[in-house]
Amino acid sequence: MPKIAKELHALAVKNLSTSGLHAVGGVSGLYLCIGKNGSRSWILRTMIGSKRHDIGLGSYPSISLSLARVKSTEIKESIKNGENPIAERRHRKSLVEWTFRRCADEFIKMRRDSWKNPKHGQQWVNTLDTYVHPIIGDLHVRNIEVGHVLSVIEPDWNSKNETMVRIRNRIELILSWAAVRGYRPLENPARWRGNLDATLPKPSSVNNRTSHKSLPFEQINTFISQLRNLESMSAKCLELLIATATRSGEAREAQWVEFDLENAIWTIPPSRMKAGREHRVPLNSIAINLIRSLPRFESNDFLFQSSSNRPLSDMALTQLLRRMKVNAVPHGFRSTFTMWAAEKTTYSPELREMALAHAVKNKTEAVYQRGDLFERRVDLMNDWAKFIEANPNKEPNVIPIRKEA
């Protein structure tokens, strides 16, 4: 143990000027450290277990001589009681730093690479910056309770329900991340079931979401005729989207390498699918004829390239429909397809969902339904093409009901 040095008084300590460690006495191991630049701070040199440690006590004169001796005595007593003041200090420092904002940043950084669409990560950042961080961003995650979560989502729960539902889920995920790492208790104040559901109305009772605007299937024949009068890439892309019942991004970013025209199959890779699974699309006559009519340039991989040799923008199809003064959005044509299949055919709902590349919601069904029902979907998509190509001037404009094979 360090020897107890001569006990210096406050004036003597003030007059110390040479750089280095100066024992001030009163408590063994207590030193005033003077740096070469004149800085002054207190150091307690003591043993913790079998190792010697230098413990900083603060700067001089902010920490006076008498206070430095008190703090040194308290630390040495805690060490005698089996405590480790250095480890405890590090733990307290780490706790102070883990605000909700920092946890959110770390969570997004960890998950960002797993999100297929960069826009998804940006939506996280934007919603947290707009609605969450101004209220709880600077709070330590261990202090966040149900009241804090409600203060974020309750004011707009009825008026912006879809957004608030997403924000609640994001807060829950971030707090769960923090709990697993020991920054807060495991109990999650943002949990819905058995927690917030006792306070807030069910989303289904206040959510005013509307379906994507779609074209009635009875009008698809006339619309396709009008669309074919246009020569733009946007018009051709929209026709492929309609003929295959695919999503806008799947059609706009379609690449030549994905198509097997000989076997009439379009294979969309998992990286371009919403569900992250490969999707095989049966190509009907409309799709095949359209693809064969497209110019193919050696320097471009995409079927529908813009003037900058890149895929069409996400607004290209929407703007086309606006110019045509059609009260529908590109995604709405999937609803057009669904309504036709439901009202004019006897194809099963499961087959229709598979054609749309929707995930099977029932987990039990998903276990047994491992295939993609491709052969059965060939007939469905061929019948869809026949309906689209039917002469709109003929009445009635329907196809015979047929049963699945």
Residues carrying CATH 1.10.443.10, the chain:
217-389
Q: What is the pLDDT of residue 134?
A: 92
Q: What is the pLDDT of residue 360?
A: 55
Question: Is it true that domain 10-83 has CATH number 3.30.160.390?
Answer: yes
The pTM (predicted TM-score) of the whole model is 0.54
- Does the structure show a pLDDT above 60 at 395? no
- Residue 61: asked if its preceding bond is cis (omega within 30°), the reply is yes
State the pLDDT confidence band at 139, using cuts at 50, 70 and 90: very high
Tell me the pLDDT of the chain averaged across its residues.
85
- Does the structure show a pLDDT above 80 at 371? no
Residues carrying CATH 1.10.150.130, the chain:
100-206
Q: What is the pLDDT of residue 400?
A: 44
Q: Which two tokens stand for residue 250?
A: 């799947």
Q: Which two tokens stand for residue 280?
A: 């095989």
- A 10 A CB-CB count for 254 gives 26
- Least confident span in 218-227, 316-325, 365-374: 365-374
Please state which of the four CATH numbers 1.10.150.130, 1.10.287.610, 3.20.20.60, 1.20.1440.130 is assigned to the domain occupying 100-206: 1.10.150.130
Q: Which residue, 199, 193, 175, is CA-closest to 185?
A: 175
Let me know: does 297 contact 289? Beta carbons within 8 Å: no
What is 217-389's CATH topology? hpI Integrase; Chain A (1.10.443)
In this structure, which amino acid lies at residue 39? S
Q: What is the pLDDT of residue 307?
A: 65
State the pLDDT confidence band at 402, using cuts at 50, 70 and 90: very low
Residue identified by tokens 């979907």 is: 377
- Least confident span in 158-162, 296-300, 374-378: 296-300
- Does the structure show a pLDDT above 50 at 397? no
Rounded (10°) CA dihedral 309, 315, 321, 326: 170
Residues carrying CATH 3.30.160.390, the chain:
10-83
Q: Which residue, 125, 120, 334, 96, is CA-closest to 212?
A: 334
Q: What is the pLDDT of residue 297?
A: 79
Q: What is the pLDDT of residue 211?
A: 57
Q: What is the pLDDT of residue 210?
A: 52
Q: What integer is the mean pLDDT of 32-38?
A: 88
313: left (phi over 0), alpha (psi -120 to 50) or beta: beta
